[in-house]
A and B are shown apart, each in its own frame.
Chain A
Amino acid sequence: MNKPVNQKAWLFVMPVLVLVAFNAIVPLMTVVNYSVQETFGNNVFLWSGLMWFEELLRSDRFQDAFVRQLYFTFTILAIQIPLGIIIALAMPRKGAWVSVCLVLMALPLLIPWNVVGAMWNIFALPEIGLLGKTLNNMGFDYNYTRQAGAAWATLIVMDVWHWTSLVVLLCYAGLTSIPDAFYQAARIDGASSWAIFRYIQLPKMKRVLTIAVLLRFMDSFNIYTEPLVLTGGGPGNSTTLLSIDLAKKALGEFDLGPAGAMSLIYFLVILLASWIFYTLMMKNEEQ
């Protein structure tokens, strides 16, 4: 094949290259730059190689935050995905209630993140919050500002409240795209409701579920605002997730080198996990 060579074609790509350079590549390279240098202020930088990376990966503080992050992400996935599927299955497929349900489901998604954090912060306060006060009146010793367990529970319930809707809406879209003939055929074939779920609904939801898991994984791994407003990472460091730790390091302590190294590792972990997950799902699809 002889293709005509015309270097002017690059001009068509230029605008997007410039755009991407200024909003992604340049900022990212700045972080890379910080991560391999040491500074003592006065804009003096010294080459430090991979020192920050080694130090970070060995530090207990990072490892703890990382484990907390994994724990958080897998817990909310384990709750939100099945719960989302169940709610989507229970929602009406036609009639006036469809729009009511959809709006109700969409509501939590429309609330700004820090408002969600503030809402739950007040809602769960043991002395005056509706939830916290009720729990204590019922005899539970609940105080999320002092008990790590209570803080975790509140954090997870808040995230489930805020984000399960996303899974529901995606699953619902998948469910409504199944033609009636499939359900009719299943009824003729004498399939049980479990068989209908297992052999019709679940396979047809697979694509949207892939997207749901991927989105929830990435978002929950990046989560910052809500836990910050709710617990501020406390009590102690018990709810300090990766992003909160990173912000403390970069903005609180102004350790540009370590913060740069941590940003890169953080970014690579998400990228790698998403890639592995996506590849596995797509491979499964081809078979």
Chain B
Amino acid sequence: MPVQQTVAFEMAKITLSGLAHSYLPSPVKPQDWALKRLDIEWQNGGAYALLGPSGCGKTTLLNVISGLLTPSQGKVLFDDKDVTVLQPDQRHIAQVFQFPVVYDTMTVFDNLAFPLRNRGLPEDQVKTRVHTIAEMIDLTSMLKKRASGLSADGKQKISLGRGLVREDVNAILFDEPLTVIDPHLKFLLRAKLKELHQRFNNTMIYVTHDQTEALTFADQVVVMNMGEIVQIGTPVELFEKPQHTFVGHFIGSPGMNVLPCDIDNGAVMFGGRKLATTNKITGQSGKTEIGIRPEFIKFTKTGIAAKIIKVADAGRFNIVQADCHGTRINLLAMKSESIPSENVKLSFDPKNTRIYVDGWLAGERGLQ
């Protein structure tokens, strides 16, 4: 058992610098890279969410931070210390996985005590610590039970508990930890994690493909797609000012409308009309699209002519699907609003209409 260094554990800022990873021995094409080159800093004590569709590299990124994977390129720094080649147990990182991992033959207590005992913590401290954590996640009554006898929920609580039990961690990483938990408990556990974050101020990185989960948990959301970070921002920023059409489309329900448009002498043309946008196109060439959220489209007397295809009831409002010269547009209409049946005209709020070139917000490409 390695003797623990008696370093006072202030948690560290985590820096990923020039990082890239491929699972192939000699990657050639861009799609050979599970993680394309990225630089990012995770501030000490932050609550981050890593959001993106399945297979976008979220888990790879998480495993690089925890040390389960050594990246093909680049460095991982904790504060200023290079930990790129250090093993997970030397990095003081806790990680909770998507599917519950419990040590079947041990009791719940021994499961929670396992990471502490492996590090040679005295038994009386183990006891206090385990009881504190068990109290927090409602496992106290089950401490003496065999872990294998618990339900999936209970097992995942044990996994969470093992992630939280150590006091010496730089960061706690969660890899879609609530996938197997039923919705009601999901809500409770998420609130609990948020509460724990406020109480201990640990850096937490939470991987998920569920935007609600990401937006409610995190102060900062990192959106990933195809091995790249497309935007880092607060939930509000992601909603109001998506840097990439992917972010606009992925966040929000329904997502942002991404509509092909033409540029005529610097003016944005859509549906035969000139549109006002918040950002200007600055001489880039490429595929041009306008992005506007369904929330910012209104019915008007004069505007872009469209035909209504479908109206879906979504509770407080209706989701209206309209067709405009072969392009599908979603918009939200409050229940009180009447939906015109013919001669439908739409107006786009100029403050929230943006122009994108090749997917990226025009004029702001290269955010990394």
B68 touches A187 (CB 8 A): yes
Among candidates B87, B97, B106, B159, residue contacting A199 with C-beta atoms closer than 8 Å: B106
- Which residues in A have their C-beta under 8 angstroms from that of B67? 187
Contact B146 A187 (CB under 8 A): no
Q: 1/0 per residue B89-104: CB within 8 Å of A? A: 1000111011101011
B87 contacts A192, CB within 8 Å?
no
Number of interface residues of A (CB under 8 A): 17
* With A187-B68, A192-B1 already in contact, 4 other A-B pairs whose C-beta atoms are closer than 8 Å: A184-B63, A185-B97, A188-B95, A195-B118
Any chain A CB within 8 A of the CB of B252?
no
Q: Is the CB of B119 within 8 A of A190?
A: yes
21 pairs, A vs B, C-beta closer than 8 Å: A181-B98, A181-B99, A184-B63, A184-B97, A185-B97, A185-B101, A185-B162, A187-B67, A187-B88, A187-B89, A188-B68, A188-B88, A188-B89, A188-B93, A189-B114, A189-B115, A189-B118, A190-B115, A191-B114, A203-B103, A203-B104
> What's the Cα separation between A104 and B101 when bound, in Å?
33
Chain A interface residues toward B at CB < 8 A? 179, 181-182, 184-185, 187-192, 195, 199-200, 203-204, 287
B residues neighboring A (CB under 8 Å): 1, 63, 66-68, 87-89, 93-95, 97-99, 101, 103-106, 114-115, 118-119, 146, 159, 162
Contacts of A287 in B (CB 8 A): 146
A132 to B99, CA, bound (A): 55
Q: Complex: how many Å from CA A199 to CA B101? A: 12
Contact B93 A185 (CB under 8 A): no
Q: Which residue of A lies closest to B118 (CB)?
A: A190
Closest 6 CB pairs of A and B: A190-B89, A185-B101, A190-B118, A189-B115, A181-B97, A199-B103
Contact A189 B162, CB 8 Å, known A184-B97, A203-B104: yes
Q: Please, which residues of chain B bring their CB within 8 A of the CB of A181?
A: 97-99, 101
Pick the contact of B94: A182, A188, A195, A199 (CB < 8 A): A188
B103, B106, B146: which has the most chain A beta carbons within 10 Å? Answer: B103
Total A-B residue contacts, Cβ distance less than 8 Å: 53
Instruction: State how many angstroms separate the Cβ of A136 from the closest Cβ of chain B.
Output: 49
B89 and A184 form a contact (CB under 8 A): no
Query: Which A residues touch B105, using CB under 8 A?
Result: 199, 203
B68's nearest neighbour on chain A, judged by CB, is: A184
Taken together as a complex, chains A and B put the C-alpha atoms of A210 and B276 apart, in Å, by: 74
Rounded to whole Å, the gap between the CB of A285 and the closest CB of chain B is 9
- Roughly how many angstroms separate A182 CA and B98 CA in the complex, as a whole number? 11
Q: Taking the nearest CB of chain B, how far is it from the CB of A23, in angstroms?
A: 40
Known: A181-B98, A182-B101. A187 touches B87 (CB 8 A): yes
State the Cβ distance, B202 to closest chain A Cβ, in Å. 15
Q: How far is the CA of A190 from the CA of B90 in the complex (A)?
A: 8
C-alpha spacing A191/B99, complex, angstroms: 19
Q: Which residues of B contact A179 (CB under 8 A)?
A: 99
Q: Which residues of A contact B159 (CB under 8 A)?
A: 185
Task: Specify which chain B residues have a CB less than 8 angstroms from the CB of A187 in the assembled complex.
Answer: 67-68, 87-89
Q: Counting chain B CB atoms within 10 Å of each CB, which of A185, A191, A192, A287 scores highest? A: A185
Measured between beta carbons, the chain B residues less than 8 angstroms from A195 are: 118
A203 to B257, CA, bound (A): 53
B118 contacts across to A, CB distance below 8 A: 189-192, 195
Within the complex, the shortest CB–CB distance from A101 to chain B, in Å, comes to 22
Least CB distance from A128 to B in Å reads: 51
Q: Which of B1, B95, B104, B115 contacts A184 (CB 8 A)?
A: B95
| B89–A200 CB distance below 8 A | no
Q: Which residue of A lies closest to B101 (CB)?
A: A185
In Å, the complex CA distance between A143 and B238 comes to 84
Chain B residues whose CB sits within 8 angstroms of the CB of A203 once the complex forms = 103-105
Q: With A and B bound together, what is the CA distance between A55 and B114 in angstroms?
A: 59
Task: Report the separation of the CA atoms of residues A203 and B102 in the bound assembly, to the nearest whole angstrom.
Answer: 11
CB neighbours of B106 from chain A (8 A): 199
Chain A residues in 8 Å Cβ range of B101: 181-182, 185
Q: How far is the CB of A90 from chain B (nearest CB, A)?
A: 22
Residue ID in chain A nearest B2 by CB atoms: A190
Please give, as numbers and ranges, the residues of chain A lying within 8 Å of B104 by CB-CB distance. Answer: 203-204
**In the complex, what distance in Å separates the CA atom of A179 from the CA atom of B98?**
12
A190 to B89, CA, bound (A): 5
Q: Tell me the minimal C-beta distance from A287 to chain B in angstroms.
A: 7
Which residues of chain B come closer than 8 Å to A182, judged between CB atoms?
Answer: 101
